Amino acid sequence: MSQESSHPGREGGPHRVVVIVDENSNPFELGCATEVFGLRRPEIGRDLYEFTLCSPEPRTLMRDGFFTLTGVADLEAADSADTLIVPNRPDVEVPRRPAVLDAVRRAHTRGARLVGFCSGAFTLAEAGVLDGRRATAHWQWADSFRARFPTVQLEPDVLFVDDGDILTAAGSAAALDLGLHLVRRDHGAEIANSVSRRLVFAAHRDGGQRQFVERPVPEVPDESLAPVLAWAQARLDAPLAVPDIAARAALSPATLHRRFQAQLGTTPLAWLTGERLALACRLIERGVSPLDVVARRSGLGTTANLRALMRRETGLTPSAYRRRFGPGADDTPW
């Protein structure tokens, strides 16, 4: 994460997420945005965002004519967004409407956070806001994207890219990964975990994980990593290393590495470090102190290691994270 703080909303008001829906937009990503940013949160006790759908037309025909969307705000709503989610459509060669591109440019100029799901990166690039920036898109459109937008630093083999004020996600389900990443960035790990539980979705998949997992569903039930993952998660504070996980799974470290790559799209060490960092964030949010206790109880070992990892992954030092998300922090929704 490249920003020092979460992305606050308008002064005195909640953080406003606006989604532009245009002709032939994908319903799935629209549903992801609604689930993450638009639903009421009685389990949390407060709403996290103000959520609005808008469109340049009173009636918007969705992808392949599945249905027509009506009753949403007009495009002017985009001008008050703190986070603007841009349209995505599978016919990536079709130019976006000038009015939509102008709305994206205005939002970027006034400092709004811009988000593109799946082919939404094409909208952002066409608006000219991705020149010289990092981004990702669905792997099947990588060659087309590079040919059309050579000045964009495309990263085609990751789930999502957080480039500060512009964030992009790869194919469909990665929209949920990026959405939860934004909730975690805005409201902390504990709230993001609560949202993920309601979604029945993995609380944290790092953006650098690969888009394409070789075998997402194990062919044989006893090849699933789920039992050993649960075992390791219960022992994060122990001196646990990759060989210990391999021994528990009755696998060689090399075979364990292949299984992680095939089933999770990451390495055992990266997974273990990510789980420990997520635990450290939760401990800080719950008021555990001092930092050497947090480092020990999360299995990260030293405060220096804790600081380095938190800074790299959240953009915040542990002290800044405590001020933002710890007990007594301002819990007014952004």
Report all structural domains of the chain as residue ranges with CATH numbers, in order of start: 16-199 (3.40.50.880), 219-328 (1.10.10.60)
pLDDT of 10 strictly over 70:
no
pLDDT of 212 strictly over 50:
no
Q: 210 or 240: which carries more pLDDT confidence?
A: 240
**Confidence grade of residue 201 (pLDDT, cut at 50, 70, 90):** low
Distance CA 16, CA 115 (A): 13
Distance CA 176, CA 202 (A): 9
Q: What is the pLDDT of residue 152?
A: 97
Q: Please write down the HEC assignment for all residues of 49-78.
A: CEEEEEECCCEEECHHHCCEEECCEEHHHH
Q: What is the pLDDT of residue 198?
A: 79
Q: How many CB atoms within 10 Å of residue 166?
A: 22
Write out pLDDT tens, residues 303-333.
999 999 998 888 889 999 998 888 866 543 3
Burial-class residue 208 by CB neighbours within 10 Å (0-12, 13-18, 19+): middle
Write out pLDDT tens, residues 279-303.
999 999 899 989 999 999 999 999 9
Structure tokens at 239: 């001196």
Helix, strand, coil % (nearest 5) of the chain?
A: 45, 10, 45
Q: Please write down the HEC assignment for all residues of 257-292.
A: HHHHHHHCCCCHHHHHHHHHHHHHHHHHHCCCCCHH
Nearest to 256 by CA among 265, 264, 245: 245
> Mean of the per-residue pLDDT values for the chain?
86
- Write down the pTM of the prediction: 0.74
User: Residue-wise over 318-333: b if at least 16 C-beta within 10 A, else e?
Assistant: beebbebbbeeeeeeb
Collect all residues with Cβ–Cβ distance below 8 Å to 274 and sequence separation of at least 6: 204, 206, 266, 313
Q: What is the pLDDT of residue 223?
A: 65
Q: Given CA atoms 144, 98, 182, 195 in this order, what sign does their dihedral have?
A: negative
The mean per-residue pLDDT over the stretch 10-30 comes to 86
